[in-house]
Amino acid sequence: MKVRILGSAAGGGVPQWNCLCPNCAAARAGTGEVQPRTQSSVAVSADGVSWFLLNVSPDIRQQIMAFPALAPQGAAPRATPISGCILTDAEIDHASGLLFLRESCPVSIPIHSTALVRRWLSEEFPLLPVVSSFSNRPWIEIRLDEARSLALPTGEPSGLRLRAFCVEPHVPKFVKNAAGPSATIGATIGLEIIDERAGGKLLYAPCAAGPSPELDRASQGAHAVLLDGTFWSDDEPRRMGFSERSARQMGHWPVSGDGGSLQWFAAIRAERRIYVHINNTNPMLGERSPERAEIARAGARVGRDGDEFEA
C-alpha cells in the first residue's frame, strides 16, 4: 500500500500562529533548522488511484494542493480520488478539515468513525450536520476490533482492510458531558490497515497515551508504524508554558525517557517507525538537535509533510 504523510504536526502546526517557542520562531525565520509542518493527516491507497484520508486536518486544502494524486481527474465537472475519511478521534486538528471538503461531488464520500466520535461531532461540535447540509457524506461506523474491508464509493473493494483498536481515551476540551470510563469508549482509536492483496500492514496511532497490549498486538507484523510524537517529555506542556497538564494527562505518550515511546519503538520489528502528530514545542523537530540524533540511533524517524513510502 502507498502511504503519504499529508501533515506531520499536532494541532496548531509548525509554526503555530500565536507561538513564540524556539521551534516556531525558527520555522518562521525560514533557516531550515526547523521545517514548517501542517496538521496531522495521512493518506493511504492500495492502487495509488483511490485514497483514504486518515484524519482530516484544517490544512487539508493545502495538503491536497501539495499532492497531485489527490487532484480531481477525468471528464466530469467534479471528481475526487478521495474515497473515504477515517477519523481516529473528534479533535479539531483531526476532524475540522471535513468542513473544507464540504463541496459536493457526484459520488458521496463516507466518513468513518466510532459511534462516540459521531455523537460528539453531531452534538458537542456539530460538524457532521453542518457538512451534511452541503453534500452527501454518509457515515460508516467503526466498531472496535472488527476487521472490515474498505469499499470504494462505487461499492467495489478498495483492496484495503481496516481494524480499529482502543487506545487510552482522550476527551476533547469541547466535550462537556463525558463521565466515567464507559462514556469514553471509542473516544480515541488506533488503526491497523492491511493491503489485502500485497499483505502490507500499517499501524496508525497519532494519539496514544502509553504502551498497551492493544498497541503491542497491532504492531505485530506491521511494516510501518506511525506513532504519537506530540511531546518529547512529560513535563513539556508545563515547562513551555501552555498547559498545567502533563503530556500523559493530555493523552500523549512522551517520546523520551524511561517508559517513553522511543524505547517501545526501538523494540518493535517494523521496518519504518515514524513519529507523527508532533507538537511545535518538541525539540526533536530541530534538524540538528541531539534529540533528533537520539531518534535516529533508535532506528526511528521524525515524520515530515510529504513523506511517502510503501507499507
Residues that bind ligand MLT (CB under 6 A): 10-11, 91-93, 207, 250-251
Closest CB 95 distance from ligand MLT, rounded Å: 10
Binding partner of residue 21 among Zn ion, Mn ion, ligand MLT, none, CB cut-off 5 to 8 Å per kind: Zn ion
* HEC-encoded secondary structure of 191-240: EEEEECCCCCEEEEECCCCCCCHHHHHHHCCCCEEEEECCCCCCCHHHHC
- CB closer to Mn ion out of 11 and 153: 11
Binding partner of residue 19 among Zn ion, ligand MLT, Mn ion, none, CB cut-off 5 to 8 Å per kind: Zn ion
List of E strands, the chain: 2-7, 41-45, 51-54, 82-86, 111-113, 139-141, 148-151, 157-166, 189-195, 201-205, 224-228, 272-276, 301-302, 308-310
Q: Using CA atoms, how far apart are residues 262 and 308, in angstroms rounded to an integer?
A: 22
Q: Are strands 301-302 and 308-310 parallel, antiparallel or unpaired?
A: unpaired
Q: Using the rule CB under 5 A, is 93 a contact of Mn ion?
A: yes
Q: Using the rule CB under 5 A, is 234 a contact of Mn ion?
A: no
155 alpha carbon, distance to own chain's centre: 25
Judged by CB under 5 A, the stretch of 6-14, 96-104, 153-161, 233-241 that binds Mn ion is 6-14
Binding partner of residue 193 among Zn ion, ligand MLT, Mn ion, none, CB cut-off 5 to 8 Å per kind: none
- CB closer to Mn ion out of 152 and 247: 247
Residue nearest to ligand MLT (CB): 11
Q: How many residues bind to Zn ion according to rule CB under 5 A?
A: 5
Name which position in 3, 5, 9, 24 contacts Zn ion (CB under 5 A): 24
Residue 260-299 contact track with Zn ion, rule CB under 5 A, x = bound: --------------------x-------------------
**CB of 38 within 8 A of CB of 59?**
yes
**CB of 105 within 8 A of CB of 78?**
yes
Closest CB 185 distance from ligand MLT, rounded Å: 19
Q: Using CA atoms, how far apart are residues 189 and 185, in angstroms rounded to an integer?
A: 9
Q: Which residue has the cell 499529508?
A: 6
- CB closer to ligand MLT out of 91 and 305: 91
- CB closer to Zn ion out of 21 and 203: 21
Closest CB 8 distance from ligand MLT, rounded Å: 13
Instruction: Give residues with Cβ within 8 angstroms of 155, minimum separation 6.
Output: none
Residue 308: CA count within 13 A, CB half-sphere:
11
Q: Using the rule CB under 5 A, is 91 a contact of Mn ion?
A: yes
Q: Using CA atoms, how far apart are residues 130 and 126, in angstroms rounded to an integer?
A: 6
- CB closer to Mn ion out of 11 and 84: 11
Q: In the complex, which residues of this chain contact Mn ion (CB under 5 A)? A: 10-11, 91, 93
